[in-house]
């Protein structure tokens, strides 16, 4: 007698495999029953092995740790066996999530990195020993939670990326301006306004970015790596320097051919618009022309609002006077707008270069394999 798997579980297991997550069955059932269900769910494959509790008793923990990645079904196991299995997987460097509902699952739930108890049929002991409670007792929900968790992590990373890069851009503008012998390209009140308007709204909107299409086709992040691993600091610094230099170009043109006030106004408008435009570059490592720019209505809204507020401060005389800005003619506006959209082609070239470089590395590795 076999209790048939729930709808969607087989597809959820496949999604886990694509996401670099190995699904393992630990059960008290007979090994033949366990293997049959595991095969149906695509957990147990040709190269995989199954083991019983009796067989586990005959091998040492050290041997189990060496061979643990070969097993995908554990049958007729006791609570002690479950703890051994969890610890063996952890010794391989894996982050272990364990599900359970009974009193006998509580030791393993406690030892796992993430203990997940069943909310409907789980005992109070299991719930108290776990880190999370699955209210619908459905494995599919765990996979959805993994996707949501990856999206949250991505968005936190993107928001930090954007905020630090734009702030470095502002520092570069002031610092390089002084080194080059210019009078201050941006006044303090102008910098405060840019930080308030063009930094905050896009950063919040980036934090609400929907999950990328390939989010469950990536391998898990290494939990030992920091947030700025894999070259993020390099990207942030390069983008910050780009923002600062483009702003200085706008200031230099205005200051050289018109006046200091025109230069500051062009720099003020440029850095604000550059940061708003650059927020779309942060959406993904892929080209924005591939992923599109309309999925995040909050980012579109923050861009429109930011452009409107940034422009209105320059156009309305009473506000312009507060921020020490002057009206621009059509030529000055065109120059400012051209400079402001340059982050898109610059970052697109960088992404294309990374894509070609990464593609060649993957191809070389395949050839070696």
Binned at pLDDT 50, 70 and 90, residue 195 comes out as confident
**Can you give the pLDDT at residue 291?**
82
Q: Shortest CA distance to 188 belongs to which of 292, 28, 291, 323?
A: 323
99: which 2 tokens?
Answer: 């599900």
Distances in Å between the alpha carbon of 71 and those of 11, 17, 50, 66, 281? Answer: 21, 15, 6, 11, 43
Q: What whole-number percentage of the chain has pLDDT above 90?
A: 71
Higher confidence at residue 198 or residue 335?
335
Taking residue 338's Cβ as centre, other Cβ atoms within 10 Å add up to: 11
Find out whether 129 and 110 touch, Cβ atoms under 8 Å: yes
Lookup result for tokens 């049959």: 36
Question: How far is the first Cα of the chain from the last one, in angstroms, to the nearest whole number?
Answer: 44
Q: Give me the pLDDT at residue 66, please.
A: 94
Task: Write down the pLDDT at residue 167.
Answer: 93
Q: pLDDT > 70: what percent of the chain? A: 95
pTM: 0.86
Residue 89 pLDDT exceeds 90: yes
Both tokens assigned to 271: 């850095």
Q: Which two tokens stand for residue 75?
A: 């049958």
State mean pLDDT over 150-177. Answer: 93
- When pLDDT is averaged across residues 247-267 and rounded to a whole number, the result is 95
Q: What is the rounded distance in angstroms from the CA atom of residue 154 to the CA atom of residue 150?
A: 6
Lowest mean pLDDT among 74-83, 193-202, 297-306, 356-365: 356-365
Instruction: Write down all domains in the chain, each with its CATH number in brackets.
Output: 9-142 (3.40.50.1000), 151-368 (1.20.1110.10)
pLDDT score, position 368: 46
Mean pLDDT (the chain) is 89
**pLDDT, tens digit, 9 for 90 and up, residues 49-67:** 999 999 999 999 999 999 9
The structure tokens listed for 318 are 């009473």
Identify the pLDDT of residue 366. 44
Tokens of 325: 């800005």
228 has a pLDDT exceeding 90: no
202 Cβ contact partners less than 8 Å away, ≥ 6 residues apart: 162, 275, 276, 279, 299, 302, 303, 306
* 149-165 mean pLDDT: 94
């Amino acid at each position: 007698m076999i209790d048939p798997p729930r709808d969607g579980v087989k597809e959820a297991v496949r999604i886990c495999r694509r996401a670099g997550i190995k699904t393992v069955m630990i059960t008290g059932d007979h090994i033949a029953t366990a293997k049959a269900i595991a095969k149906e769910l695509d957990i147990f494959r040709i190269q995989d092995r199954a083991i019983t509790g009796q067989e586990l008793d005959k091998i040492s923990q050290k041997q189990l740790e060496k061979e643990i990645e070969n097993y995908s079904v554990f049958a007729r196991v006791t609570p002690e066996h479950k703890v051994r299995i969890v610890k063996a997987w952890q010794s391989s460097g894996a982050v272990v999530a364990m599900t359970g509902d009974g009193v006998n699952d509580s030791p393993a739930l406690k030892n796992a990195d993430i203990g997940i108890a069943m909310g409907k049929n789980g005992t109070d002991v299991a719930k108290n020993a776990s880190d999370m409670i699955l209210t619908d007792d459905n494995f599919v929900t765990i996979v959805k939670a993994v996707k949501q968790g990856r999206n949250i992590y991505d968005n936190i990373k993107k928001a930090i990326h954007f905020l630090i890069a734009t702030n470095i851009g502002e520092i570069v503008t002031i610092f390089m301006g002084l080194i080059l012998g210019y009078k201050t390209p941006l006044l303090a009140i102008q910098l405060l306004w840019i930080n308030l308007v063009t930094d905050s709204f896009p950063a919040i909107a980036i934090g609400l970015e929907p999950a990328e299409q390939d989010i469950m086709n990536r391998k898990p992040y290494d939990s030992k790596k920091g947030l700025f691993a894999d070259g993020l600091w390099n990207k942030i610094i390069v983008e910050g320097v780009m923002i600062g230099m483009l702003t200085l170009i706008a200031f230099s043109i205005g200051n050289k051919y018109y006046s200091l006030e025109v230069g500051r106004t062009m720099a003020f408008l440029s850095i604000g618009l550059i940061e708003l435009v650059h927020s779309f570059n942060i959406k993904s490592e892929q080209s924005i022309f591939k992923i599109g720019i309309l999925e995040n209505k909050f980012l579109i809204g923050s861009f429109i609002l930011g452009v409107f507020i940034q422009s209105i401060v320059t156009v309305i005389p009473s506000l312009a006077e507060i921020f020490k800005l002057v009206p621009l003619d059509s030529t000055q506006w065109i120059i400012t707008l051209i400079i402001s959209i340059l982050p898109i082609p610059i970052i697109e070239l960088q992404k294309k270069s990374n894509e070609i470089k990464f593609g060649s590395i993957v191809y070389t590795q395949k050839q070696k394999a």
